[in-house]
Amino acid sequence: MCGIVGYVGNKNATPVLIKALKKLEYRGYDSAGVAIYTGEEILVQKAKGKLLNLAEKITGEIIPDQVKKQDFSDTEMALYDKTGDFIKGCMGIGHTRWATHGEPSDLNSHPHTNMDGSISIVHNGIIENYADLKAKLQAQGIVFKSQTDTEVVVHLLDQKYKASGDIFKAVIETLHVLEGSYAIGVICKDYPDRIIAARKESPLVVGIGKGENFIASDVPALLEHTRDVYYLGERELAVLYTDHVDLFNFDGEKIIKQPSHVEWDMDAATKGGYEHFMIKEIHEQPKGLTDTMRPRIVKDASGKPVDVYFEENKMDEAWKKASRVVITACGTAYHAGVVAKYAFEKIARMKVDVDVASEFRYRDPILDPSDIFMVISQSGETADTLSALRLAKEQGLKVVAITNCVGSTVSREADDVIYTLAGPEIAVASTKAYTTQLLCLFLLAVKAGKLRGTLSDEEATKLLCELESIPSKIQEILDGKDVIQKFASQQFNKDKIFYIGRQFDSATSLESALKLKEVSYMHSEAFAAGELKHGPIALIDPATLVVAIASEPKLYDKIGSNMVEVKSRGATVMVITQDSGDAFEGKADLVCKIPECSSTLASLLTVIPAQLFAYYCAIMRGYNPDKPRNLAKSVTVE
Ligand code: F6R
């Protein structure tokens, strides 16, 4: 997730900004930049890669690789200090970028400037209507330097400023044109005493210092300087001067807010107050899903969702003609593929084969050029997934990739890329990447169904409306997480945990069992519920916890019978279901109710209690869920 910082005061802004960005490194980034008002002009420096690359570029000094590997080393900090000798100025903005629109590169890095370099901005979020705005601006002769959505903001702002001669007014007018989510910081050469900042749906904090003020995406960037902050609210602006800060709403009216005093230490602050990244990322799912979905759902003039649009999608013809979708991936991403099999069959009536990439690559798979080959990979760097992709391309297939990492190897080698916009996932165990992968797959299934004429307009609209309601339903589950925490406190010593489900729920069982074993080291397995009596039931005894996932009302009786079978053999049973309890009366020790949802899309909800359960079991067993033993975030070897 991008990081924003800004400084206005009496110190040399460049090192202050770079060191503040260093404190936001935990958010993940692929490039960085600063824009400083030097007294005469706005000077911009940006570089792909680490902040050290930026500092090297500014100072011309090269740091040995060994030093680069040490975090917060004295050499690194000294180099940041030295940047102030090369760019002098007491006001500026800085940015670390996590690419969403356009690959990581010097040009796509922020800050972005208008054509004459007199206005500069940093942005975190997604401008959903940027393509329309860009086309209009280009038609008026504006030359774009980057592929980013952000650059439209600075050119629009420039136009509005030229029209009114008032930068504050121009910012407000620009904000009214933008759709999507954003936190922005703006500096203008004609206003050398102030930074203007605004937010809508992306975080922004104002740090209140003595003779200096700051903006930042998150508190850790500020803690070295101040603990007094304004948390900017939705649709609020701040104008920061050296000696004071004024706050406004989007209508330009002044507002009064009480500052907050931050008590968190640095460690808690980087996790946004959560104890671990895993639980933070579980809670980020409503936002990640909204960010991933909103730019892709096409609405008619009345606001009714009617279609799906992936701007990167170049394969409409292939989707129309394809006889099959072949999906390969590893681990959690593979489980998303298993859900996709049910989704594509049900929604688009398409044949789907799913395989783990490590198996696929060593088989002699039968592929047809009319197949669509799909890889799913959070990191976009998984060795087995990449090999499967290359094998499919060698055989002449078109490859579509779903990944969370712009510029990753998978994204570069695939013919078509759909990005999950979950933001960087830091905990090793995947949570928000998984649900955003599911979302992209559901959206793709709707698109494929429409293209192939297998899904009616009414059904497509119904599914899209329901998808739009998913983030708030996930929030509801998160708000009721205490029930799961309590249940985990009673079950964390169990020897065996089995997840069972049918159809979509059997796919969710796979992911739920993986999550639990990864972070809590409890022995957990997943079985298609109907398979229990063909073998696994022999394992059931009073030391077993069985978690039944039951999102399909038509199958309540069937899964209910499985629950009775295991309960009568002494197992403890929890059921994750949308039924309010009647269907499973006397069959479960805990009914974990999820909000109502069609069984087609319920896998976006049923996995949430399972993620929470895994997290709480890990904590209660004394393990750090962010760094499970023996596991790496990105598996770049076979
Ligand atoms: C589980 C997990 C792994 C990954 C797998 C594939 O929580 O994170 O199973 O899903 O290693 O990684 P990507 O998606 O990066 O290809």
Alpha-carbon distance 109 to 46, whole Å? 6
User: Pick from 230, 223, 155: which is nearest to 197 by CA?
Assistant: 230
Tell me the pLDDT tens digit for each residue of 400-435: 999 998 878 899 899 999 999 998 888 999 999 999
Query: One-letter amino acid identity for 166?
Result: D
Pocket of ligand 1 (CB under 6 A): 330-333, 377-379, 382, 385, 429-430, 518, 634-635
66 has pLDDT over 70: yes
For ligand 1, mutation pick of 339, 382, 638 (most atoms within 8 Å of CB)? 382
User: Pick from 200, 236, 216: which is nearest to 27 by CA?
Assistant: 216
Tell me the pLDDT tens digit for each residue of 501-557: 999 999 999 999 999 999 999 999 999 999 999 999 999 999 999 999 999 999 999
Please name each of the domains of the chain with its CATH number: 3-125+182-246+258-268 (3.60.20.10), 271-477 (3.40.50.10490), 480-624 (3.40.50.10490)
Contact at 8 Å (CB) between 311 and 301?
A: no
User: Pick from 195, 272, 262: which is nearest to 227 by CA?
Assistant: 262
631 has pLDDT over 70: yes
User: Pick from 396, 441, 386: which is nearest to 418 by CA?
Assistant: 441
- Order the strands of the 213-216 sheet from edge to edge: 42-48, 31-37, 91-97, 3-8, 213-216, 205-208, 228-231, 260-261
Residue of minimum CA distance from atom 9 in ligand 1: 331
Tell me the pLDDT tens digit for each residue of 351-378: 999 999 999 988 889 999 999 999 999 9
Alpha-carbon distance 119 to 97, whole Å? 19
Alpha-carbon distance 469 to 473, whole Å? 7
Percent helix, percent strand, percent coil in the chain, to nearest 5: 40, 25, 35
| Active-site entry in 169, 496, 627, 633 | 633
CB atoms within 10 A of CB 335: 30
Query: How far, in Å, from the CA of 400 to the mean position of ligand 1?
Result: 18
Residue of minimum CA distance from atom 7 in ligand 1: 429
Confidence of residue 638 (pLDDT cuts 50, 70, 90): low
CB-facing half-sphere around the CA of 445: CA atoms within 13 A:
27
For ligand 1, mutation pick of 327, 338, 354, 379 (most atoms within 8 Å of CB)? 379
* CA of residue 377 relative to chain centroid, distance: 13
Alpha-carbon distance 561 to 546, whole Å? 13
pTM: 0.83
Atom of ligand 1 nearest to the CA of 334: 10
CB atoms within 10 A of CB 369: 10
Query: How far, in Å, from the CA of 507 to the mean position of ligand 1?
Result: 16
Tell me, letter by letter, the H, E, C secondary structure of 592-612: EECCCCCCCCCHHHHHHHHHH
Contact at 8 Å (CB) between 221 and 25?
A: no
The answer for 293, left when phi > 0, alpha when psi is -120 to 50, beta otherwise, is alpha
Query: One-letter amino acid identity for 266?
Result: M
Alpha-carbon distance 225 to 210, whole Å? 9
Total count of residues recorded for the chain: 638
Atom of ligand 1 nearest to the CA of 430: 7
Confidence of residue 267 (pLDDT cuts 50, 70, 90): confident
User: Tell me, what's the pLDDT at 495?
Assistant: 85
> CA 336 → CA 318, 377, 477, 528, distances in Å?
22, 10, 20, 16
Summary mean pLDDT of the chain: 93
Residues 6+ apart with CB under 8 A from 538: none
CB atoms within 10 A of CB 404: 28
Mean per-residue pLDDT, 43-51: 95
User: Pick from 56, 145, 61, 165: which is nearest to 105 by CA?
Assistant: 145
Alpha-carbon distance 594 to 606, whole Å? 7
Question: DSSP string of 260-308?
Answer: EE----HHHHHTTT-SSHHHHHHHTHHHHHHHHHGGGEEE-TTS-EEEE
Structure tokens, 613: 């359960």
Confidence of residue 632 (pLDDT cuts 50, 70, 90): confident
> CA 609 → CA 155, 344, 527, distances in Å?
45, 25, 18
Atom of ligand 1 nearest to the CA of 434: 10
2 a catalytic residue: yes
633 a catalytic residue: yes
How far from each other are the two terminal CA atoms of the chain, in whole angstroms? 29
User: Tell me, what's the pLDDT at 633?
Assistant: 76
626 has pLDDT over 70: yes
Helices 151-164 + 167-177 axis angle, to 10: 130
Contact at 8 Å (CB) between 124 and 101?
A: no
Q: What percent of the chain has pLDDT over 90?
A: 82
User: Tell me, what's the pLDDT at 136?
Assistant: 96
Confidence of residue 181 (pLDDT cuts 50, 70, 90): confident
Tell me the pLDDT tens digit for each residue of 196-240: 999 998 889 999 999 999 999 988 899 999 999 998 988 999 999
* CA of residue 285 relative to chain centroid, distance: 8
Alpha-carbon distance 424 to 131, whole Å? 24
Q: Bigger pLDDT: 583 or 637?
A: 583
User: Tell me, what's the pLDDT at 588?
Assistant: 95
Residues 6+ apart with CB under 8 A from 70: 76
